[in-house]
C-alpha cells in the first residue's frame, strides 16, 4: 500500500498512474481498478479524488492540455519576429510530443477526439493551440482568416507528428518545427488573403 500523502500530492500521483494506464490501454480498456493498482492505492482512495472514470479522464485531458499549452506559449514567447515565433511554437509542440509520448497518445492516439464524452476536451486543446497560431498570423491575414488558417496548421502539425513518430523518430523537433514553420510562413506569404 502507498504511504499517506497530502491530498494534492496524492492527486498528482493518481494522475501520473492514470496517464500511464490510459495511454497504454485506452479509455475503454482501462478500469478504475487498473488505475488504483498502478498507483498502489485502493479503489476507495481513488474514488475519494475522482468520482468516476470519466471525471478522471477529463481531468487528465485538462492537465495534459494545460501542459502542452504552456510549452507552446513559452516557445513563442522567446522569439520576437513573427516567423521565428511560429518556428518556436511548432518546435515547442514537437519537443513536448517527443518528451511526453504518453500525453500525446492520450490526446490524439486514444480515440478521445471521436468519443462524445471527450471530444469537447480534445477540441478545446486544439482550439487553444490554434488561438496561439492565429495571433502569429494576424500580420498576414484578417483575424477571421487567420483563425481558419490556424486550425489548418494544427491539423498539419498533428499529421506531421504522426508521420514523424512512425517513420522518422530520430528527426530532431527543431528540424521538424523549422520545416513546418517555413512551409506555413512562406506558403501564407504567397496567398491572396481576404476576409471571409
CB 110 within 8 A of CB 27: yes
Residue with the bigger pLDDT between 108 and 30: it is: 30
Domain 62-190 sits in CATH at 1.10.357.10
Cell numbers for 138:
494576424
Mean pLDDT estimate for the chain: 88
Rounded Cα distance, 119 and 125, in Å = 10
CB 164 within 8 A of CB 171: yes
Residue with cell 491572396: 192
Q: Is 101 strand, coil or helix? A: helix
Q: Treating both helix axes as pointing N-terminal to C-terminal, what angle do 82-99 and 119-137 enclose, rounded to 10 degrees?
A: 150
pTM, full prediction: 0.85
Rounding to the nearest 10 degrees, give the CA dihedral for residues 90, 162, 112, 44. -90
Q: Is 154 strand, coil or helix? A: helix
Rounded Cα distance, 2 and 38, in Å = 11
CB 96 within 8 A of CB 102: no
CB 58 within 8 A of CB 121: yes
Residue 174: which of 95, 71, 84 has the closest Cα? 95
Q: What is the pLDDT of residue 189?
A: 65
Arch. (CATH architecture) of 1-51: Orthogonal Bundle (1.10)
| Percent of the residues in the chain that have a pLDDT greater than 70, as a whole number | 92
As a whole number, mean pLDDT of residues 46-72 equals 94
Domain ranges of the chain: 1-51, 62-190
> Which tens digit of pLDDT belongs to each residue from 89-141?
999 999 999 999 989 888 877 667 778 888 899 899 999 999 988 888 877 78
Cell numbers for 141:
491575414
Amino acid at each position: 500500500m502507498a504511504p499517506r500523502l497530502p491530498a494534492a500530492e496524492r492527486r498528482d500521483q493518481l494522475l501520473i498512474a492514470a496517464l500511464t494506464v490510459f495511454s497504454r490501454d485506452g479509455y475503454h480498456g482501462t478500469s478504475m481498478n487498473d488505475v488504483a493498482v498502478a498507483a498502489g492505492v485502493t479503489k476507495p482512495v481513488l474514488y475519494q479524488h475522482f468520482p468516476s472514470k470519466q471525471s478522471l479522464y477529463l481531468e487528465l485531458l485538462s492537465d495534459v492540455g494545460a501542459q502542452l499549452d504552456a510549452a507552446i506559449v513559452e516557445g513563442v514567447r522567446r522569439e520576437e519576429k513573427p516567423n521565428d515565433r511560429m518556428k518556436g511554437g511548432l518546435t515547442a509542440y514537437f519537443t513536448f510530443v517527443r518528451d511526453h509520448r504518453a500525453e500525446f497518445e492520450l490526446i490524439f492516439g486514444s480515440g478521445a477526439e471521436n468519443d462524445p464524452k471527450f471530444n469537447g476536451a480534445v477540441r478545446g486543446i486544439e482550439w487553444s493551440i490554434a488561438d496561439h497560431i492565429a495571433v502569429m498570423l494576424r500580420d498576414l491575414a484578417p483575424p477571421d482568416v487567420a483563425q481558419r488558417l490556424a486550425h489548418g496548421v494544427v491539423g498539419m502539425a498533428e499529421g506531421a507528428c504522426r508521420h514523424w513518430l512512425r517513420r522518422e523518430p530520430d528527426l530532431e523537433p527543431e528540424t521538424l518545427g523549422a520545416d513546418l514553420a517555413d512551409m506555413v510562413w512562406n506558403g501564407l506569404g504567397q496567398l491572396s488573403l481576404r476576409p471571409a
